Structure 1
């Protein structure tokens, strides 16, 4: 069982203030206490699987600040495809969970699976610990571990979202989750690692984000291939650096990025 907890979630979450910070703190405390055991139960038990799960749930919950969708749920009223056949079902069975459960039929089905009557008490689905279970059940049902094992953020996002909404945000969370798990398991990386063609991993994705922020078009896939090398050379040329396609301290300095600070 990997050592993940509320601190792991907090490390990748954005900072809020006021009531939003209070609710986030409650979610992190309760869900975080159950995180390691719950993820292990659902075989979300490798660094890649955990990183992808945390990235997706962080986005879906607006940075772990809510386990209930902000909208009223009225838009779901009369949605027979969701099993909303009785007056008031739209609001009653609005989206809840770290990955949102929506509609009477889904509340009934998942409640039966976990042995909890969510139709009689739908607001229970917003409980932080139960919201974690709901997300894990969703993850299991759609075999998203398979996508995580391939480090395929596109397929994982499509399985969760039904599209690619918020992809950049999910990628940013994934980068932070990978970095946090790496720090926990192997120690913090060097502040300015030397990167060249052939490198892979979250630090490469951070480089790619920094290049894009600097106005250099590049893909964000964590793979330092020919395209990323060309982007680095273009940046170095414009910054008056030696254009060798190798990212060392001088390039990191010009990019004005510190690994631990890039959100």
Structure 2
């Protein structure tokens, strides 16, 4: 967290809540696969860079924030190599994002690269959640928002954030 500026109690609380939700309380570093209807739609999604048959499954969510899609695996590789030159080629070896070091570093890099420290400083947990997992059209809220808020409350209490 320190390497990516997640260095205040407010930032840490928001980060821990988000990775707690995304990873099923730090149990999963690979997306559970059904496939669900949403997962089936990963296949062929140009916005994710999934251009080859099988990319949807191959580049399913991995890491503590669940990096998803060929393009995002390549972006994570490029971003992490700026601070960790020995980072694997996640596009060529997607399973490497399941290793503890890379699962954690990829989440922290994603956080910094999406400007989430600034949102955490402002206490804008809604926008943090939306940037990580989008908005559910049915509810108008980011997916899993109730759970994310509970985890955030717990993390703030543990870290002494008002």
The answer, yes or no, to whether TM exceeds 0.5 is yes
Q: Write out aligned runs for 1:228-247 (5 A).
A: none
Q: Write out aligned runs for 1:12-51 (5 A).
A: 39-51=1-13
Q: Which has the higher contact order (CA 8 A, sep 6+)?
A: 2
Q: What TM-score results when the alignment is normalised by the length of structure 2?
A: 0.83
Unaligned runs of 5+ in 1: 1-38, 183-199, 202-263
Q: Write out aligned runs for 1:147-162 (5 A).
A: 147-162=119-134
Q: How many residues align?
A: 146
CA radius of gyration, larger in: 1
Instruction: Tell me how far 1:77 sits from its aligned partner.
Output: 1.7
Task: Write the distance in 2 (CA, Å) between the matches of 1:84 and 1:158.
Answer: 22
Q: Are 1:181 and 2:159 matched, yes or no?
A: yes
User: In the alignment, what sits opposite 1:54?
Assistant: 16
Q: SS in structure 1 opposite 2:5? A: coil
Q: Write out aligned runs for 1:80-91 (5 A).
A: 80-91=46-57
Unaligned runs of 5+ in 2: 82-87, 136-141
Task: Write the distance in 2 (CA, Å) between the matches of 1:159 and 1:79.
Answer: 18
Instruction: Tell me how far 1:124 sits from its aligned partner.
Output: 0.6
Q: What TM-score results when the alignment is normalised by the length of structure 1?
A: 0.53
Task: Write the distance in 1 (CA, Å) between the matches of 2:52 and 2:119.
Answer: 37
Instruction: Tell me how far 1:146 sits from its aligned partner.
Output: 1.0
Q: Write out aligned runs for 1:219-230 (5 A).
A: none
Q: SS in structure 1 opposite 2:155? A: helix
Q: Write out aligned runs for 1:189-228 (5 A).
A: 201=162
**Which runs of at least 4 in structure 1 moved beyond 2 Å after TM superposition?**
72-75
Instruction: Tell me how far 1:177 sits from its aligned partner.
Output: 0.7
Q: 1:1-22: per-residue Cα shift (whole Å, max 9, x none)?
A: xxxxxxxxxxxxxxxxxxxxxx
RMSD of aligned residue pairs (Cα, Å): 1.6
Instruction: Tell me how far 1:162 sits from its aligned partner.
Output: 1.6
